[in-house]
């Protein structure tokens, strides 16, 4: 009998690919293991075994696999089920999902890059001929791709050679490949087992009386282990005893001491004892009880709790219950809110049980968390992570918390899979028969709508912890202030007054401006020309700090102009303003104050964000100017005043969610003010103080915002009332993308009629030299979503078979908001 496996490959193939295997391999291989397989003429990929069977593919001759890469599955059955759900729901391939789901170090393929290891000097005579060839080649070339190596050795199956070279530490593969994944090792030392009896020990010490240095080392070892009651590191022993590593080595060679390793995780908790969780107040207690009751009827529940109501402490109680039962917890946060603050808070309660999964961590760290979760290790019983942590190999999940559930960053926009982590979390939890708690002070309309419809449970917590007052919100009419000449730059007299007072009391200020850079438009006063990005249809933003014009869409930049590119006039003007300009004005208005800025430009790098937060916490900053990064779940004791520099550009943003988002953003930023005894103050500068959303923000009236916005959504057939799929077509040739999108929309209309909108050029019609066209399909609740998708896929397949359109890129985005 012949045996085959179907394999998921990390490429956008619609179908699984079948390979032939031997019967011994068939006995060994299990779903979820990795195999190295050939693909096409010369490619190699790492694939995941989907199933083992005996049916030969009819369309092609199955190739043999190269190699089995695992002894046990690295992906479990529930994950594969989730992958399939994601692929189907978000209209992408299993390969797309696989690529997003697995840590990069798990996926070895022909494009993987190999470099010479810098770790140590190698004894070249230990290399076999083929190994030497590669090693030698890396002396002439700093890196090689795996398919280059195939060429050098003139054979296809090169992974075993690469594996051996990695094991000999001659080469490294893309941040060191999985096989050689190596936790950091610390060397410990203990007395050899030969001396465990008291007599033997006495003997030894007598013998060593003639070697006082060695005897000293032994005595130091005793005293160290007696005082710390912990394993003794070699480094501590030599440090404490002053003995050279040579003496310790001698003792080891003489079998008096024994050295050994304990694997320690790189992502490490260095705290002391765990704290007990806090006693909840009556409101929190009531909310906790209500959540538990809601879970009885409804596995998904929304906790709508105002800022600073103590939601986190409620999560902690729920987590305690779940880990007591030995189950796992996933605590999802928007990427940016994953701050040291929250991490510390949870680690104080749960110590080493908390693992953090973060895209900014190295491949090693991610593999470490992956393996701990896979093995249901107590070390990763609670995973705190951003959206991609829904892909971890949970085996027994009891609870998922989605904190700040309204946050847009839970949705992945590019590349596929274009999934929403909150919605996917709900599906994942149900596969584990676990509960999901969504938490927010400003729930998304879709979650609140789901709750109101009875689809989710709903618990509301309307009291701030310790009865801290909600901040006092004041709207400042800048049109009026301008008329009466009460503005200095972008600061109204009211804002300056309040800032002066707060600074005098030694407290802190946050200023919010939703744009980075200095000014988004540079305009010639003579001819009106403003410099545009050559690759995108947008104006370039002026960044004063680097004296550059930059495109925020493609990264294009050039030196700031001295005079107009069109007419040569030196009379250039800045329109609009960003964080940089605010920072500069603040420094002039308050020269004594310490000012910092937090936006994309200042927070790149692994700890960029944390450094600013810490500086603010430690009061090294008086005034922090920033973009919406400021809004995310931070808890600052000492911030008394929040200034929103201009509410209008958020409100006028061309998007059906602009009002909802503005409300959420402003309420969340306001929530940063006055979290302790003193009442916080929020000033919102606007040209339109009578805007409904601003009124609702200033009275913190979520319900009214919800009702009014839902009304619009009904009237204009937007989510959550209607479902929505966005189809984007891209091409560098405008005429082609236009013809293609007209064809696509026409075909869609034959199925869905009026529910199809477009094609339309988006506000920025060209990005990175690609013209975009959007088509929107609106789907009423009663229309089958899966049938709709089937129809779209059918149309897309016919589209792809038209020769003229083949080079047009089509992007399907389900729930594109």
The footprint of ligand ADP (CB under 6 A) covers 278-281, 284, 305, 307-313, 465, 635
Bridge partners of 558, per DSSP, are 549
DSSP labels for 800-813?
A: HTSGGGTTSEEEEE
Interface characters, 452-471, with Zn ion (x: CB under 5 A): --------------------
Shortest Å, Cβ 777 to ligand ADP: 37
- Toward ligand ADP, which CB reaches closer, 281 or 395? 281
CB of 810 to Zn ion, least distance (A): 22
Site for Zn ion in 566-625 (CB under 5 A): 566-567, 569
For 166-309, strand residue ranges (E) read: 171-173, 185-191, 232-233, 257-263, 300-305
Report H helices in 254-375: 282-297, 311-324, 340-350, 363-374
Give, as ranges, the residues between 409 and 438 that touch Zn ion (CB under 5 A).
Answer: none
280 binds, among ligand ADP, Zn ion, none (CB under 5 to 8 A by kind): ligand ADP
Closer residue to ligand ADP (CB): 281 or 376: 281
764 binds Zn ion per the rule CB under 5 A: no
Please identify, using beta-carbon distances, which residue of 290 and 765 lies nearer to ligand ADP. 290
CA distance 159 to 618: 51
Please identify, using beta-carbon distances, which residue of 401 and 727 lies nearer to ligand ADP. 401
Closer by beta carbon to Zn ion, 133 or else 554: 554
* DSSP line for 701-754: -HHHHHHHHHHHHHHTT-TTTEEEEEEEEEESSHHHHHHHHHHHHHHHHHHHGG
Nearest-approach distance from CB 767 to Zn ion, in angstroms: 7
What residue has token string 């749960």? 350
C-beta closer to ligand ADP: residue 309 or 436:
309
The nearest distance, CB 260 to ligand ADP, in angstroms, is 41
Which spans in 141-211 are helix H? 146-153, 159-167, 198-207
**If contact means CB under 5 to 8 A according to the sort of partner, which of Zn ion, ligand ADP, none does residue 557 touch?**
none
Among 29, 80, 522, 524, contact with Zn ion (rule: CB under 5 A): 524
Considering only residues 408, 526, 548, 574, which one is a binding residue for Zn ion as defined by CB under 5 A?
526
Whichever of 284 and 492 has its CB closer to ligand ADP, that residue is 284
Q: Which residues face 4 on adjacent strands? A: 20, 53
Residue whose CB is less far from ligand ADP, 284 or 412 = 284
Q: Residue 522 touches which of ligand ADP, Zn ion, none (CB < 5 to 8 A by kind)?
A: none
Please report, as residue ranges, which positions from 141 to 170 form the binding site for Zn ion (by CB under 5 A): none
307 binds, among Zn ion, ligand ADP, none (CB under 5 to 8 A by kind): ligand ADP
Contacts by 612-616, CB closer than 8 A, 24 or more apart: 613/339, 613/340, 613/341, 614/340, 616/508
Residue from 231, 604, 675, 309 nearest 465 by CA = 309
Nearest distance from residue 608's CB to ligand ADP, in Å?
23
Q: How far is the CB of 668 from ligand ADP (least distance, A)?
A: 10
Nearer to ligand ADP, 288 or 755 (CB): 288
State how far Cα 30 lies from the chain centre: 30
Least distance from C-beta 520 to Zn ion, angstroms?
13
CA distance linking residue 475 with residue 698, whole number of Å: 8
Among ligand ADP, Zn ion, none, residue 533 binds (CB under 5-8 Å by kind): Zn ion
Task: Supply the minimum distance, in Å, between the C-beta of residue 522 and Zn ion.
Answer: 11
Concatenated DSSP letters for 391-450? GS--SSEEEEEEETTT-GGGB--SSS---BHHHHHHHHHHHTT-EEEEEESS--HHHHHH
Nearer to ligand ADP, 309 or 788 (CB): 309
Output the furthest CA–CA distance in the chain (Å, rounded): 99
Minimum Å distance from CB 676 to ligand ADP? Answer: 9
Which residues lie closer than 8 Å to 782 by C-beta, 6 or more apart?
none
Residue 102 per-residue DSSP state: S
- Residue 556 touches which member of Zn ion, ligand ADP, none, C-beta under 5-8 Å by kind: Zn ion
Report the nearest approach of ligand ADP to the CB of residue 299 (Å): 22
d(C-alpha 333, C-alpha 630), whole Å: 15
Whichever of 345 and 529 has its CB closer to Zn ion, that residue is: 529
* Closest to 135 (Cα-Cα) out of 168, 180, 111: 168
Q: How far is the CB of 352 from ligand ADP (least distance, A)?
A: 21
Return the number of the residue (564 or 613) whose C-beta is nearest ligand ADP.
Answer: 613
* Per-residue contact string for residues 717-736; x = within reach of Zn ion by CB under 5 A: --------------------
Residues 247 to 276 in contact with Zn ion, rule: CB under 5 A: none
Choose the stretch contacting Zn ion; rule: CB under 5 A; options: 120-128, 164-172, 527-535, 647-655.
Answer: 527-535
CB of 465 to ligand ADP, least distance (A): 4
- State both tokens at 327: 């189950």
Q: Is 329 exposed, middle or buried (0-12, 13-18, 19+ CB in 10 A)?
A: buried
Indicate the SS3 state at residue 198. Answer: helix
Residues 772 and 762: beta-carbon distance below 8 Å: yes
CA distance 458 to 367: 37
Tell me, residue by residue from 528 to 567, as one string, x for binding to Zn ion by CB under 5 A and - for no binding.
-x---x-xx--------------x-xx-x-------x-xx
Least distance (Å) from Zn ion to the CB of residue 349? 46
Of the pair 553, 687, the CB lying nearest Zn ion is at: 553
With CB cut-offs between 5 and 8 Å by kind, which of ligand ADP, Zn ion, none does residue 309 bind?
A: ligand ADP
- Kindly tell me which of 174 and 403 has the beta carbon lying closer to ligand ADP: 403
Nearer to ligand ADP, 169 or 610 (CB): 610
Q: Which is nearer to Zn ion, 567 or 802 (CB)?
A: 567
Min dist. Cβ of residue 405 to ligand ADP (A):
12
Least Å distance, CB 582 to Zn ion, is: 24
* Interacting residues of 751 by C-beta distance below 8 A, sequence separation 6+: 791, 795
Which of the listed partners (Zn ion, ligand ADP, none) does 181 bind, with a CB threshold of 5 to 8 Å by partner kind?
none
Q: Select from ligand ADP, Zn ion, none the partner in contact with residue 569, using the beta carbon and a kind-dependent cut-off of 5 to 8 Å.
A: Zn ion
The values of phi and psi at residue 240, to 5°, are -70, -40
Place of tokens 């059906």: 656
Residue 740 sits in the site that holds Zn ion (CB under 5 A): no
Cis geometry, peptide bond prior to residue 587 (ω within 30 degrees of 0): no
Please tell me the distance from the alpha carbon of residue 785 to that of residue 723, in angstroms, as a whole number.
8
Cα dihedral sign, 564-567-569-572:
negative
Minimum distance of Zn ion from residue 443's CB (angstroms): 35
- Decide which of Zn ion, ligand ADP, none touches 305; Cβ closer than 5 to 8 Å per partner kind: ligand ADP
Q: How far apart are CA 458 and CA 221, in angstroms?
A: 59
Among 78, 122, 340, 527, binds Zn ion (CB under 5 A): 527
* Cβ nearer to Zn ion, comparing 293 with 569: 569
Closest to 354 in 3D by CA, of 323, 324, 375, 325: 323
- Which residues neighbour 197 within 8 Å (Cβ) at sequence distance 6 or greater? none
DSSP assignment letter at 539: B
Of ligand ADP, Zn ion, none, which one sits near residue 576, judging by CB under 5 to 8 A according to partner kind? none
* Closest CB 343 distance from ligand ADP, rounded Å: 13
d(CA 39, CA 365): 30
Judged by the rule CB under 5 A, the positions of this chain that interact with Zn ion are 524, 526-527, 529, 533, 535-536, 551, 553-554, 556, 564, 566-567, 569
């Amino acid at each position: 009998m012949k045996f085959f496996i179907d394999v998921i490959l990390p490429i956008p193939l619609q179908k699984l690919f079948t390979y032939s295997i031997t019967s011994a391999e068939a006995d060994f291989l299990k779903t979820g293991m990795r195999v190295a397989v050939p693909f096409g003429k010369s490619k190699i990929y790492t694939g995941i075994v989907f199933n083992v069977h005996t049916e030969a593919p009819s369309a092609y001759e199955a190739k043999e696999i190269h190699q089995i890469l695992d002894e046990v599955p690295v992906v479990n059955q529930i994950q594969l089920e989730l992958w399939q759900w994601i692929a189907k729901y978000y209209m992408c391939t299993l390969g797309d999902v696989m690529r997003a789901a697995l840590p990069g170090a798990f996926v070895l393929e022909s494009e993987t890059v190999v470099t010479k290891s810098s770790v140590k000097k190698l004894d070249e005579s230990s290399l076999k001929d083929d190994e030497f060839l590669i090693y030698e080649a890396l002396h002439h070339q700093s890196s090689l791709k795996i398919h280059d190596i195939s060429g050098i050795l003139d054979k296809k199956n090169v992974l075993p050679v690469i594996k051996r070279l990695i094991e000999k530490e001659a080469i490294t593969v893309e941040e060191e490949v999985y096989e050689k994944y190596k936790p950091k090792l610390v060397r410990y030392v203990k007395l050899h087992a030969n001396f465990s009896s008291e007599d033997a020990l006495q003997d030894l010490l007598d013998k060593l009386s003639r070697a006082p240095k060695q005897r000293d080392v032994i005595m130091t070892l005793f005293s160290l282990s007696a005082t710390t009651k912990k394993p003794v590191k070699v480094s501590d022993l030599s440090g404490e005893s002053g003995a050279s590593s040579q003496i310790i080595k001698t003792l080891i060679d003489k079998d008096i001491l024994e050295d050994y390793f304990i694997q320690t995780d790189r992502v490490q908790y260095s705290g002391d004892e765990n704290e007990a969780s806090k006693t909840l107040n009556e409101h929190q207690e009531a909310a906790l009880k209500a959540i538990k009751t809601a879970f009885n009827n409804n596995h998904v529940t929304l906790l709508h709790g105002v800022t600073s109501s103590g939601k986190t402490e409620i999560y902690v109680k729920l987590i305690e219950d779940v880990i007591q039962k030995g189950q796992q917890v996933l605590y999802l946060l928007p990427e940016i809110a994953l701050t040291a603050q929250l991490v510390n808070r949870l680690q104080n309660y749960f110590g080493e049980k908390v693992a953090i999964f973060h895209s900014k961590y190295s491949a090693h760290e991610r593999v470490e968390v992956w393996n701990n979760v896979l093995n249901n290790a107590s070390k990763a019983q609670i995973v705190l992570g951003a959206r991609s942590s829904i892909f971890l190999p949970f085996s027994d999940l009891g609870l998922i918390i989605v904190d700040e559930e309204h946050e847009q960053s839970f949705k992945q926009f590019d590349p596929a899979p274009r999934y929403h982590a909150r919605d996917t979390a709900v599906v994942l939890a149900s596969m584990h028969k676990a509960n999901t708690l969504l938490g927010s002070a400003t729930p998304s309309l879709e979650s609140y709508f789901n709750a109101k419809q009875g689809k989710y449970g709903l618990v509301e917590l309307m009291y701030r912890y310790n009865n801290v007052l909600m901040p006092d919100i004041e709207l400042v009419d800048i049109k009026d202030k301008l008329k009466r000449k009460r503005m200095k730059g972008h600061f109204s007299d009211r804002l300056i007054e309040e800032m002066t007072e707060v600074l005098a009391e030694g407290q802190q200020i946050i200023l919010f401006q939703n744009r980075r850079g200095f000014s988004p438009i540079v305009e010639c006063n003579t001819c009106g020309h403003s410099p545009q990005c050559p690759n995108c249809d947008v104006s370039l933003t002026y960044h004063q700090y680097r004296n550059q014009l930059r495109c925020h869409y493609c990264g294009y930049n050039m030196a700031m102009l001295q005079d107009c590119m069109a007419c040569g006039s030196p009379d250039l003007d800045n329109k609009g303003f960003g964080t940089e300009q605010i920072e500069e004005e603040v420094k002039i208005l308050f020269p004594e104050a310490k000012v910092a800025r937090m936006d994309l430009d200042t927070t790149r790098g692994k700890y960029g964000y944390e450094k600013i937060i810490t500086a603010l916490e430690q009061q090294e900053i008086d005034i922090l100017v920033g973009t919406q990064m400021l809004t995310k779940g931070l808890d600052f004791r000492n911030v008394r005043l929040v200034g929103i520099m201009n509410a209008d550009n958020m409100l006028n943003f061309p998007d059906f969610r602009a009002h909802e988002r503005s409300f959420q953003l402003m309420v969340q930023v306001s929530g940063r003010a006055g979290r302790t005894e003193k009442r916080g103050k929020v000033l919102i500068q606007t040209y339109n103080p009578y805007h409904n959303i601003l009124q609702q923000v200033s009275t913190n009236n979520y319900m009214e915002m919800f009702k009014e916005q839902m009304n619009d959504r009904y009237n204009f057939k937007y989510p959550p009332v209607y479902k929505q799929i966005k189809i984007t077509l891209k091409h560098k040739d405008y005429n082609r993308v236009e013809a293609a999108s007209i064809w696509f929309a026409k075909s869609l209309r034959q199925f869905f009629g009026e529910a199809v909108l477009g094609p339309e050029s988006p506000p920025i019609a060209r990005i990175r030299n690609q013209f975009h066209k959007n088509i929107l399909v609106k789907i009423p609740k009663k229309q089958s979503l899966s049938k709709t998708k089937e129809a779209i896929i059918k149309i897309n397949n016919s589209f792809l078979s038209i020769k003229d359109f083949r080079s047009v890129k089509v992007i399907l985005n389900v729930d594109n908001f």
